Structure 1
Amino acid sequence: MKIGMIGLGRMGKNMADRLRTGGHQVVGYDIAPDSGRDVDSLQALVQALQAPRVIWVMVPAGKPIESTLDQLGDLMERGDLVVDGGNTRFTQDQEHAQALAAKGIGLVDVGTSNGIWGKEKGYALMVGGSDQDVARIQPILDTLKPEGDYGLVHAGGTGAGHYAKMVHNGIEYGMMQALAEGYAVLEASDLIKEPGEVVESWRKGSVIQSWLLDLLAQALKEDPHLSGIAGKADETGETKWMIADALELGVPTPAITSALYARQSSKIEDPMTMKVVSALRSAFGGHPIVRE
């Protein structure tokens, strides 16, 4: 199958490579000249594909995806299909689908997971869209997913793929935070000789054995006590969106919400919240204030 790929960054390039290895023809485009792109413009990309076209887009949510879809809407033809494999908010998928449908262009949203490991092991794919549109890209999905009867789900209609990925990322936050807090306790205890050895022992036969635990064990082998890593972690929009939707649905998500707050707090050098708390403790209880 011949397909266009927009966005040849860490994820997009690896996906294009996996597709080529699987026997597909990929025409790649990226705004960066040194990306290994095959064409140097969106117009050239569309022209290089025969109608009805399929173009997979791997660009960040927000302005990049908005701009790309607007341009594709003007360049592509009735019967063509766009696949948004980024992390677009599910409500925006529905808006994008309506705008493209007015021009006879279909949209499939695909939540994609497995980061840098996907090229070799395959990607977990969560797909949203009509049965007809999803069937059109089935050969592509079959090549990108891991081997075996798992790693691919048609989650529902437009937006369902990104919704499933949004929830997936929220769960990921909670799992990583639990591992992080547990390891921090091991590090702080005088009873534990080598925290890394404890983590290593959990990898087999333990209820918490997992790929994330394996990655933590490997990180500790490479950098015992993680002394070379700053205690800061970025957070992306998907978990905020999940928590917001969970509030609308009336579903409590305390673990995931706590994990999000922990990441946000990690980026604040001198949090205003703690200044306020310190001032109030001094005012009502006479507790000492640490001055800068």
Structure 2
Amino acid sequence: MQLGIVGLGRMGGNMRERLRAAGHEVIGFDQDPQVSDVASLAELAEKLEAPRAVWVMVPAGVTEATIDGLAEVLSAGDIVIDGGNSRFSDDGPRAERLDRQGIGYLDVGVSGGVWGRENGYALMVGGAQEHVDRLMPIFDSLKPAGEYGFVHAGPVGAGHYAKMVHNGIEYGLMHAYAEGYELLAKSELVTNVPGVFKSWREGTVVRSWLLDLLDRALDEDPELASLRGYAEDTGEGRWTVDEGVRLAVPLNVIAAALFARFASRQDDSPAMKAVAALRNQFGGHATHKN
């Protein structure tokens, strides 16, 4: 199948390569000419055969402008897929604008970080069934092998909503590991903190991929001494807590993990060093060095 991708950063670039390895023809556009296959959105549209499908993987701040730019060069029958971390409430208005031109729209929550090219990406899709069916060869190639890793979560907005909740849960899981790390590091009894985490990777109820990544980070830097205890939040945790307030759902752990990230910007916290290390391991997010 043929697909256009706009945005060839850590995620988009790896998705292009995974799809090409699966036999798809992928044409990518990026502002960086070193990685781009074409020089403009107009050229991207020209090189794709109608009906076209274009997947957008750009930072949230430029998503709206990018989709508006695509609307100027695409035609009725084409589909735009937003796979970035957009707020779910933006999806409905976008879909309505594109629908007036006969252009379809899917929102896709994508999880997998910098490891997705090798391991596959978990995909949470929102939109009409007919559009989902048309893109299934792409989804099947991006997802991990086997029965898991893909869901048609509901209508437009459902994919980004599901990814928002996924990221909220991620906040809580990471912070639980981080607090455990801080307590072990301050204990007078435990002399091999990295070894404790390594021992948990098999046979325990707390084993997970995040635990594996924390173990990897501790192998590289046993005391996380090179990291500053500072962790950004990219919005999804805030949106999740906002929804908890709106729907009167108590999100005690997720809210506490979000507020802990705010606290990290005030003091150099050992727990937040662990969060920063995990974000770097699974997503290639930048760290602040001491």
Q: TM-score, normalised by structure 2?
A: 0.91
Aligned AA (2:158): A
Moved more, 190-199 or 177-186: 190-199
For residues 150 and 14 of structure 2, the distance between their equivalents in structure 1, rounded to whole angstroms, comes to 18
- Which residue, 90, 101, 104 being the options, matches 2:102? 104
User: Does the CA contact (< 8 Å) of 2:168 and 2:236 recur in 1?
Assistant: yes
Question: Following the alignment from structure 1 to structure 2, what is the Cα–Cα distance between the partners of residues 133 and 239?
Answer: 29
AA aligned opposite 2:137 = P
- Rounded to whole Å, the distance in 2 between the matches of 1:124 and 1:38 is 26
> Corresponding residue for 2:49?
50
Alpha-carbon distance between aligned partners in 2 of 1:91 and 1:53, rounded to the nearest angstrom? 25
- The CA distance in 1 between the partners of 2:177 and 2:74, in whole Å, is 46
Give the alignment of 1:251-290 within 5 angstroms: 251-268=249-266
1:211 counterpart residue number? 209
Count of residue pairs the alignment pairs up: 268
**Alignment partner, residue 24 of structure 2:** 24
- CA displacement at 1:76 relative to structure 2: 0.6
1:189 aligns with 2:173: no
Aligned pairs (5 A) from 1:2-41? 2-34=2-34, 36-41=35-40
- 2:71 maps to a residue whose letter is G
CA distance in 2, matches of 1:225, 1:20: 40
Question: The residue matched to 2:162 in structure 1 has which SS?
Answer: helix
1:82 is paired with a residue whose SS is strand
Unaligned runs of 5+ in 1: 271-292
Equivalent position amino acid for 1:39 in 2: V
Aligned residue among 81, 86, 89 for 2:79? 81
Q: One-letter code of the match for 1:191?
A: L
What is residue 288 of structure 1 aligned with on the other side? Answer: none
Separation in 2, partners of 1:101, 1:76: 12
Q: Which runs of 5+ in 2 are unaligned?
A: 269-290
Moved over 3 A (4+): none
User: Which protein has greater RCO, CA pairs closer than 8 Å, 6+ apart?
Assistant: 2
User: In structure 1, how many angstroms separate the alpha carbons of the residues matched to 2:191 and 2:49?
Assistant: 64
d(CA) in 2 for partners of 1:264 and 1:236? Answer: 12
SS at match of 1:140: helix
Q: Name the Cα RMSD after superposition.
A: 1.0
* Secondary structure at the counterpart of residue 225 of structure 1: coil
Q: SS of the counterpart of 2:243?
A: helix
Structure 1 position 269, deviation (Å): 5.5
Q: Does the residue aligned with 1:16 lie in a helix, a strand or coil?
A: helix
